[in-house]
Amino acid sequence: MTRAAKVTDRFASIGPTAGWVVFGIAFLLRLGAGLFSGQLWHPETLEYDGMARSLLAGHGLVFEHLQVPYHSFAPPLYPWLSAASYWLCGSLILLMMLQVVAGSALAVAVAQIAGRFSAGAIAPLAAGLLIAFHPGLIIYNVNKAHPLTFDALFFTLAVLQAFRLRERTTVRRAIEFGVIVGLGTLSRATLIIFLPLVAMWLVWVLRKGSLKLVVRAIVVAGLCTTAIVIPWTIRSSLLHHQFVFMLTTDAEDFWRGNNPNATGSTYATAERTELEMLTPRELADLLRQRDEVAQANWFTARSHAFIREHPREFVRLTAVKMLHFWWIAPQTGLLYPRSWFFAYMMYYVLVLLLAMIGAGSVWRMGNLARQQLLLIAAFLLALSLLQSLYYVEGRHRWAVEPILIAISGVGVGAIAARRHRLATRT
């Protein structure tokens, strides 16, 4: 066993009892919220539902958008799960219960990450409970047929598995990491950037060990991810007669954040979206495009022209979107009661303060803890920067916020340890 593995065994995981407690509380909260709202049986449905119904009707994953049938509107995993739920029980109740389980498992995964920075039970329990009571995640868990719950789980599991792979660079753990990233990419394509990040991180932190084992693990993980993702990429590329990695709407998403009316959100004003700000002539020109690829090219031409003509505005907008990603945007909370918005902001400010305390505590723990913290920081920075090139909404942060909350749990543990030391001295 390596020195790193011996050290991390002290922080390997929370006990099974604590894990079940965190899972049980999160599960009961979500189930209770779903039963109270009644939306477990009748959730708010979005484009993924239309894609699932199209699949069951024998037309494939098709969604009508801008008067054109889109065959690559969104990543396929969530529509597949929706279709399976309809096929098995005639409704989305199976999918919604799966979301409740996934949301509860997310609390345990976050607790596991916090446990790798603290030998006590307080940090992982605090992190898990912060996820259990996360208001935004609860709403998306039980009120909306939306992939956010699975996105957050895959992001968090990828970080946790990267830590496990650093502890023991085995083929099995590399396969597990590759499967997590592959399936997660089919839910949220941006997760793919974690693969090269972890590869560089492993080479750096294990440079004094066996680089042969590190390279083997990286190759195995990459092959597993590729095996899962490439069938969809081949399908989409053949269908559209050009390379399409995951979807064709990324051009529209990029345009939403980079056009003359852009605010950084999908909304240009409190009442009108970016698409609704198009002039009648522009809209007519867009709708004349023959298919989704032509519409994607239409959006690409205009967003790139905007950047060429207004490079400083592009930089400013990207910085504004980065700020909105980690704080709030002018449009934040438009679709919810103001009381919900203020309740969440109090929660989020607490999370940020605890995360700062936790990060300071982790930095003083030694090289291993610092290396893990740096991977988390690099992942969060890369994802937020990538999203800021497009457009930003609160839900985009919620997908990665659980990783930050793991450090918040460490902050709670640090506060508790300090109070214990003071009490002991007294």
User: Which residue do the tokens 């050009």 mark?
Assistant: 242
Measured from the Cβ of residue 36, the count of other Cβ atoms closer than 10 Å reads 10
Predicted confidence at residue 419, as pLDDT, reads 85
Predicted confidence at residue 4, as pLDDT, reads 42
59 in the Ramachandran plot: left (φ > 0), alpha (ψ -120 to 50) or beta? alpha
Q: Is 64 helix (H, G, I), strand (E, B) or coil?
A: strand
CA of 20: how far to CAs of 8, 17, 31, 107, 109, in Å? Answer: 22, 5, 16, 10, 12
Predicted confidence at residue 340, as pLDDT, reads 82
CA angle 357, 158, 82 (to 5 degrees): 115
Count each helix (H run) and each strand (E run) in the chain, helices first. 19, 2
Predicted confidence at residue 14, as pLDDT, reads 59
Predicted confidence at residue 267, as pLDDT, reads 82
Residue among 286, 284, 305, 285 at smallest CA distance from 295:
286
C-alpha torsion sign, points 227, 229, 235, 236: negative
Predicted confidence at residue 15, as pLDDT, reads 64
Predicted confidence at residue 58, as pLDDT, reads 97
Predicted confidence at residue 162, as pLDDT, reads 98
Q: Can you tell me the distance from the alpha carbon of 49 to that of 297, in angstroms, rounded to the nearest whole number?
A: 26
DSSP state for residue 336 in the 8-state scheme: S
Element at 377 (helix H, strand E): helix 367-388
Please return the burial class of 66, using the count of CB atoms within 10 Å of its CB with bins 0-12, 13-18 and 19+.
middle
Q: Percent helix, strand, coil in the chain (nearest 5)?
A: 70, 0, 25
Which residues lie below 8 Å from residue 390, measured CB to CB, with a gap of 6+?
Answer: 250, 253, 254, 256, 257, 321
Q: Name residues of the chain where pLDDT drops below 70.
A: 1-16, 270, 333, 426
